[in-house]
Amino acid sequence: LLFLETIRDGAGLAAAARKAHAAGKPVVAYKLGRSRLGAALARSHTGALAGEDAALDAYFRDCGIVRVDLLETLIEIAPLLAGRTPPNLPRAARVAVVTTTGGGAASVVDRLGVFGIETVAPDSKSPIIDLTMTATAEQYTAALDDLLASPQCDGVLAVVGSSAQFHPQLAVEPIVRSKKNAKPLAVFLTPHAERSLALLAERGIAAFRTPEACADALAATFAWRSPRTRTAAASTEWPTDLPRRGGLDEAQALVLFASLGIPVVEHAIAQPPGYAHAIPYPVAAKALSAELLHKTEAGAVCLGIADRAELDREVSAMLARVPAARLVLVQKMESGLAEAIVGYRDDPVVGPIALVGAGGALAEIYKDYALRLAPVSEEEAEEMIERVKGLAMVRGYRGLPRGDVRALAQAVAALSRLALVSGRPVAEGEINPLIVKREGVVAVDGLVVMKE
């Protein structure tokens, strides 16, 4: 059990967690502080999304550490995990609830729903099995045994009411007598019943004092994953014509992405005084500067320019808004089925992270994304894409045209290989948006922040 204020040696902790997993010993962590103060320092959307806490979630998952939200959960969860292996569920968890108090059960079921856990009651129309005033101790035990053996649920929650306080031996006896198996069994007692808690603890049964801790423990148990298997990967070469220090402008960022194998938009750098280019209209025009990270906010992007006359007008107005820029990046206008954000960040605590999410200017508002420690394989990238609700349309949701999910996954995996560049010079890298088409993808906006 780990109470963490910070992590100073991420690699060392990960190695220890993997060693513990190999020895059959679960590792549980409570990390103090989930604030987003660090996000204020991020330079990209990826940096803001993949803040310290989100990065830690990805890190704990990667090395097989169970993370809990509440301190009391850390203290009470051990019997729920002892002797078990990670469930590695490919879907939402299903918990059967047996109770002798309807209100007490509802308080936990409500919290389980917040975590996305389904409550099931085989052969019942109700989401819980309420035995209040109707069942003997033997019937209670039989109900638990049936549920623990049922393939229709992944775990069982027993909720005991006031009898746990006034008749502890009778209240917990049906639970103690139930047949133990690999399926998690959790107990919530309401109101507080110290003697019943002690009796359950003596038998190695996980018992909880609050509905919040009980739900948190079950959610953490079902989110538990085996440590990720990593395979050796070849190093990634840095383009010789790009600097490894200082800033990269967007044109240089696109060169970097293309070197990784990511398709990039057709583009040209237009110079004063005429800003001539060979890109066919309609085009997009952007002020080009390594200091200009978020161009939309600065009024440094013009889209859908139809002809040369409109280009002259728009460029003149744009450069008046951004006097520090002299050059203009002219790009072909692109369209597709969806916009994704694909990102990379070298987190100071846990190391390189890969991100994919619903893209566009509102990416930080929607916060719809998936994270993994980098680098990731194409298969792992596809798993990440499956977790992003806003990308459901490219997966063929409700008969919509299916986008090239494989090409999107290839782009995610390719950008994550920045983690394999010698010296890891990139602090943050981002494509937002990456246009997903029926066939292929194309990066139309790029940002790279180098380490100082």
Per mean pLDDT, which range of 168-182, 194-208, 223-237, 351-365 is the poorest? 168-182
Residues 328 and 446 reside in one and the same domain: no
Is there a domain that residue 238 lies in? no
Residues 134 and 166 reside in one and the same domain: yes
First to last CA, the chain: 37
pLDDT at 384: 96
User: Cα dihedral angle (78, 82, 85, 89), rounded to 10 degrees?
Assistant: -40
Domain final position from 170, 192, 223: 223
CATH at residue 169: 3.40.50.261
Residues 31 and 125 reside in one and the same domain: no
Domain final position from 38, 71, 104: 71
The structural domain count of the chain equals 4
The alpha carbon of residue 174 and the mean position of all alpha carbons in its chain are separated, in whole angstroms, by: 39
Is there a domain that residue 308 lies in? yes
Is there a domain that residue 255 lies in? no
Q: Work out the pLDDT band at 39, boundaries 50, 70, 90.
A: very low
Residues 47 and 97 reside in one and the same domain: no
pLDDT at 152: 92
- Supply the range of the domain harboring residue 326: 266-332
Residues 439 and 348 reside in one and the same domain: yes
The dihedral of CA 39, 40, 42, 46: what is its sign? positive
Q: Work out the pLDDT band at 452, boundaries 50, 70, 90.
A: confident
Residues 10 and 136 reside in one and the same domain: no
Is there a domain that residue 245 lies in? no
Residues 326 and 445 reside in one and the same domain: no
Write the pLDDT tens digit of every residue in 121-158: 877 667 788 887 777 888 888 889 999 999 999 999 99
Write the pLDDT tens digit of every residue in 344-366: 999 988 999 999 999 887 777 77
Is there a domain that residue 259 lies in? no
pLDDT at 296: 83
Q: Does residue 321 have a pLDDT over 70?
A: yes
Please choose, from the candidates 219, 164, 153, the residue with its C-alpha nearest in 3D space to the C-alpha of residue 187: 164
Please choose, from the candidates 446, 426, 239, 256, the residue with its C-alpha nearest in 3D space to the C-alpha of residue 351: 426
**Which amino acid belongs to residue 113?**
G
Residues 302 and 344 reside in one and the same domain: no
Do 101 and 132 touch, CB atoms closer than 8 A? Answer: yes
